[in-house]
Amino acid sequence: MRHGSVDLGLLRTGAHSPSVFALNRSMGDNGTPLVDFCIPCNPYFPTPEMFAHLAQNLESILKYYPSDSSSITNKLCSVLGLHPQTVAMANGSTELITWLDHLMIKESVAIPIPTFGRWTDQPLETGKRVDMYPLQESEGYALDLEEYVAFIRARGSRVAVICNPNNPDGGFLPRREVLRFVDALSDLDLVVVDESFIDFVEAERQPSVGPDAAIRPNVVVLKSLGKNFGLHGIRFGYLVANPGIAGKIAKVLPKWNLNSLAETVVHMIQDYDTEYRESLRLLSRDRYQMADELSRVPGLTVFPSQGNFLLVKLPVGWSGVALRDFLLTRHGLFVRECGNKLGMTSQFLRFVVRPIEDVRLLVDGMLSYGRVLHGESESPLTSPADNLIPYPSSRSHRLASAN
């Protein structure tokens, strides 16, 4: 098969997915590049013009030292309209999660599950008690903040975390509800709002509580620029908090913890704001079209999302692990199987939102898996062109019921 040389062992080594680089390397020179439905990334940003600019200056970017972290932070704050004393930048949001755990989580932390794995794994690795609040499939994985507060009080958790939108389901909490939540827990050691995917939200014009965190005693808002800007490889994120908390985190970070590529992109952000906003608009359009296209798979459940990904539940009898391996080896499609996420099973997959031509490849691959599962020929009787159907005027995709 075209992608049969992929090392599937890379998919079975831990709680997180392997990098696209590792999978492509395992294929050697025999395969074509994988289509990545696994790593949540903005496919429309940076623009080709931005990549050309980076390529033109790559030698000097890589050859010389970047500015120190405080200088890069000051520049970012001037672009985003934030006060530098309320911001700490790091080599990816996971570095900030690590330092928050070491410095701010002393005894226990509450976290809804399923969610981003580092929020449970990191404190468990350092011997903290993790109070896991299970979200329910029957409720569409929606988080009831009042019930979550009651859970936190009953467990005596000293730190509370929410991800908004949540990963992997894309569930979104309105800004006013998040503010009521953090204010109800003003006596805790720390309340973290992970807004790594907040820029993809279209349900609310100003969904972030970042500015509000700067004037609250115990609130940290986490941001991940790599996910928003489609640049996971340069590793940069930041947090917003009151000057006491932000300063405490900033002091433990190395003086040169940000690389030259990250610095270059920070300086480019303001010049390409229009293109960035357009990328978010295109991605939002693709999210709805992708859900419609996925409805071609009989028995598939698609959960509503405000992130740049869609959570799906597979039809009865389908195996998430087998489907993941089939799509990778037979069709060159890299997807996220969720069986190693706390609170989920292998019946769930998360698909990153991609342009429609890629989504059609995904759907055709899933339909092909269904035929093989039922002992039929992998190839459809119709020609591939027959599957390139126009979109219906109404969004008729199957959404997970909240009942």
Strands 108-113 and 348-352: unpaired
> What pLDDT, on the 0 to 100 scale, is given for residue 383?
38
What pLDDT does 401 receive?
Answer: 34
pLDDT average, residue stretch 231-257: 92
Q: What is the pLDDT of residues 329-379, one digit of tens each?
A: 999 999 999 999 999 999 999 999 999 999 999 999 999 999 999 888 776
Q: Would you place residue 17 in the very low, low, confident or very high pLDDT band (cuts 50, 70, 90)? A: low
Percent residues over pLDDT 70 in the chain: 86
Environment class of 158 (CB within 10 Å of its CB; exposed 0-12, middle 13-18, buried 19+): buried
99 dihedral zone (left: phi>0; alpha: psi -120 to 50; beta): alpha
Minimal CA–CA distance to 325: which of 316, 315, 317, 335? Answer: 335
| 51 pLDDT tier (thresholds 50, 70, 90) | very high
Return the closest-CA partner of residue 101 out of 80, 73, 128, 74: 128
- pLDDT score, position 6: 63
**pLDDT cut 90: percent of the chain above it:** 75
- The chain-wide mean pLDDT, for the chain, equals 88
Stretch among 40-44, 191-195, 247-251, 283-287 having the lowest mean pLDDT: 40-44
- Give the pLDDT confidence of 113-151 residue by residue, as tens digits: 999 999 999 999 999 999 999 999 999 999 999 999 999
**Which residue has 């949001």 as its token pair?**
93
On the question of pLDDT at 255 being above 70, the answer is: yes
Res 395: pLDDT: 33
Residue 398: strand, helix, or coil: coil
In order of 8, 322, 358, the CA distances from 372 in angstroms are 20, 11, 21
Which pLDDT belongs to residue 21?
Answer: 55
Distance between first and last Cα of the chain: 43
Domains and CATH numbers, the chain: 8-46+274-387 (3.90.1150.10), 69-268 (3.40.640.10)
**84-98, 123-137, 205-219, 387-401: lowest mean pLDDT where?**
387-401
> For strand 237-240 and strand 219-224, is the pairing parallel, antiparallel, or unpaired?
antiparallel
Phi-psi sector, 375: left (phi>0), alpha (psi -120 to 50), beta = left
Tens of pLDDT, residues 146-162 = 999 999 999 999 999 99
In the chain, the amino acid numbered 181 is F
Mean of pLDDT values over 76-91 = 94
- Distance CA(184)–CA(174), nearest Å, equals 16
Asked whether residue 15 carries a pLDDT value surpassing 70, the answer given is no
Q: What's the confidence (pLDDT) of residue 374?
A: 87
Provide the pLDDT for residue 233.
83
Six-digit token pair at 86? 């309320």
pLDDT bracket for residue 7 (50, 70, 90): low
133 burial level (CB within 10 Å; 0-12, 13-18, 19+)? buried
pLDDT at 229: 87
User: Which amino acid is it at 364?
Assistant: D
Close Cβ partners of 300 (under 8 Å, ≥ 6 residues apart) = 294, 312, 313, 314, 315, 366, 398
Phi and psi angles of residue 387, each rounded to the nearest 5 degrees, phi first: -85, -10
Q: What is the pTM of this model?
A: 0.87
